[in-house]
Structure 1
Amino acid sequence: MKILVTGAKGFIGKNLIAELRNRQYKDIYEYAKDTDPDLLHEYCKDADFVFHLAGINRPKDECEFMEGNYGFTSKLLKTLKKYNNTCPIMISSSIQANLNNPYGISKRAGEDLLFNYSKETGANVLVYRFPNVFGKWCKPNYNSAIATFCHNVANDLPITVNDPNAIINLVYIDDVIEELIQSLEGKGNFVGSLYEIPIVYTKTLGSIVELIYSFKNSREERFIPDMSDSFTKKLYSTYLSYLPKDKFSYDLKMNVDNRGSFTEFLKTPERGQVSVNISKPGITKGNHWHHTKNEKFLVVSGNGVIRFRKIGTEDIIEYFVSGDKLEVVDIPTGYTHNIENLGDKDMVTIMWANEFFDPERPDTYYLEV
């Protein structure tokens, strides 16, 4: 299948082309502002499907709206007709097509061109009115508040929110691309006379900004956002894509003594805490028990032994562990336990606890195994 993508270097275009290639669509004609105009004839002659994503949304002069959103659409359709190519064509319109501003009028005019073209030629047309689209590769300080917020917060720049209670409808780029590929395969989400992205989020600007700042602070606090919420998950992925190249990494606080070190890695309110424990050769750590707190130990380097003794009994249970064989050991409640490094090098253990450490209620009681 030969696929023509106009606006190929734009936000949606780049994401679409990348995923089409991931799915082994090989014949992709990329048309952008700097493409030789003569190539449009070749592309329109051979295309089996057209994704018409090109458009103008931030012109220097308002007259460019009609030129970019109506004029080029007209040129595209005339070229397809010249070669009697009635392949399906998808157009990216906007929810502003319902408004009587210059941008909305130009978008609606482009839609009407397609509907009339369909009546005239019988071609299948797919009109999508996108709300605000967010995700990786979107240009900040252009036409996306999300891109601007993420870029500015990640780069320690100020942001301006005139009305934090303002409501915004959002769609995530991966959901958009999935829907567009569904439309390519004849399974688009058709509603009335238009096609729609199935997953739309309605949020206030204030709540979005609060979330983005929480992402920034999560590094210092070692908290992971609530990934069970799909919008939070997608916004967090978006935010990370705007990190400056010199800020991909961040330091953790290592609690170091002569026995080794203990470092908190990640914390979540509902999924507990992950830490990294390093024990020097011959060192034993632990010798305590818990009422409700439970843990999982995974030795990833070195070798040692984990010992247990149920409170009130004398029997000692031993599990020998090694980084040569990755094995998770559950630390049950009501058992005092320790871990000893039996090797001649540092032993590294990944530790998960079902709750992060609370100094006011540590639920940790010293008792020799």
Structure 2
Amino acid sequence: MKVLVTGARGFVGRNLTVRLGELGHQVLAIGREDDDVAWTEATQNAETVVHLAGENRPVDPSGFETGNVGLTRKLVALMQATGNTAPILYASSTQAANDNVYGRSKANAERLLLDHAAATGGRVAVFRLPNVFGKWTRPDYNSAVATFCHRIARGKAIEIHDQAAPLRLVYVDDVVDAFVALLPGNFATGFHDVAPVYQTTVGEVADIIRSFPQSRNTLTTPRVGTGLVRALYSTYLSYLPADAFHYDVPIHADPRGRFVEMLKTTDSGQFSYFTAGPGITRGDHYHHSKVEKFLVISGKAHFGFRQIQTGERHEIVVEGSQGRIVETIPGWTHNITNIGSGELVVMLWANEIFDRDRPDTVAMKV
């Protein structure tokens, strides 16, 4: 499909055009800097239009009228002049419901598009977006999230005037998903929503972002797998300077080999790895409640088990090429011996973070 994207060089536009390319669509990118010939050709060929071009922080307030209403009027006029009734998706703003210069300009642009749909039989989807955040937003411009991420990623202070100030946020990937879902054009003209919308505060967002660099020191990651924290974490990482793409963790070494903790979680344990030279045995202890999963990455390992009351024994031999998990069992003392000729490397997950005051690790030979 040929998709005309106005404002394709902006924040949302760049994210959208990348996704459209991944899906195999042809992007007709256009902006206010392009001449009338380019605009005419793009509107003639468009099979769907995503109208993102606009103005939200002009030097002169009159820029709201020219950037939002004027560009929309130009788009509608060209569509009608070429007889193109392709569906139009419009990125408006929740400010369109407010009586301010910016809000009125977005509301007027909405009316132009809805009138166009009524006059031509085309379809128009209006998205009144709250604050959109994600990778490639310009910091120190109009996004608190972008500014916080950019500054915190560089160890700089952030300034907050009102911690409790409310924020309504949508993540750029969710905006792009909502647009892509309507590309076939089988939607009803009117207002459409992007979900989820995150209801939060300036202070909460700042605290979440501040926790990300701290996790490199504590090795304990926040819950970055779902929801707002996931989206903020991805956004924060996108602002890291290239020389901060890596960081070191402590290595604990002794004659048996190395032990390295990689990552800890707040409620699902921790990940680490260890090495052992040929003939070296590690472990020889049992746990009451703690459980572990071992994955041999390279080398050959012998796992020995003994039930501490009955004396029942069990053994397992695993090589790195097998992709086999070995679990420790509460009440069974266990050890791991390198029975190969080279270094043994084993990845380890424990279901709880090691607590020196309550280690739940009792020494006992297998």
Same fold? TM cut 0.5: yes
Q: What residue identity is the alignment partner of 1:150? A: C
User: 334, 344, 347: which is aligned to 1:347?
Assistant: 344
| Matching residue of 2:98 | 99
Q: What residue identity is the alignment partner of 2:278? A: P
Residues 76-111 of structure 1 show CA distances to partners (whole Å, capped at 9, x for unaligned) of 111111111111111111111112222112111111
- Once the 2 structures are TM-superposed, how far is the Cα of residue 273 of structure 1 from its aligned partner? 0.7
Contact 1:305 1:342 in 2 (8 A): yes
Matches of 1:39 and 1:187, distance apart in 2: 28
Residues 241-300 of structure 1 show CA distances to partners (whole Å, capped at 9, x for unaligned) of 111111011101011111111111111122111111111222111110000001011110
Contact 2:124 2:190 in 1 (8 A): no
| Matching residue of 1:304 | 301
| Matching residue of 2:11 | 11
- Once the 2 structures are TM-superposed, how far is the Cα of residue 198 of structure 1 from its aligned partner? 2.6
| Matching residue of 1:146 | 145
Q: What residue identity is the alignment partner of 1:11? A: F
Matches of 2:186 and 2:300, distance apart in 1: 55
Contact 1:284 1:338 in 2 (8 A): yes
TM-score (ref. length: structure 2):
0.96
Q: How does 1:1-369 map onto structure 2 within 5 Å?
A: 1-25=1-25, 27-186=26-185, 193-227=190-224, 229-369=226-366
Structure 1, unmatched stretches of 5+, are none
Secondary structure at the counterpart of residue 243 of structure 1: coil
Residues 207-244 of structure 1 show CA distances to partners (whole Å, capped at 9, x for unaligned) of 11111111111111111221454111111111111111
Structure 2, unmatched stretches of 5+, are none
Percent of residue pairs identical: 44
Contact 2:123 2:185 in 1 (8 A): no
Secondary structure at the counterpart of residue 114 of structure 1: helix
- Once the 2 structures are TM-superposed, how far is the Cα of residue 36 of structure 1 from its aligned partner? 4.0
- Once the 2 structures are TM-superposed, how far is the Cα of residue 71 of structure 1 from its aligned partner? 0.8
The more displaced of 210-219 and 96-105 is 96-105
Matches of 1:249 and 1:228, distance apart in 2: 20
How many residues are paired up? 366
Q: RMSD in angstroms over aligned alpha carbons?
A: 1.5
Residues 287-338 of structure 1 show CA distances to partners (whole Å, capped at 9, x for unaligned) of 1000000101111011121110010233432111111222100111100011
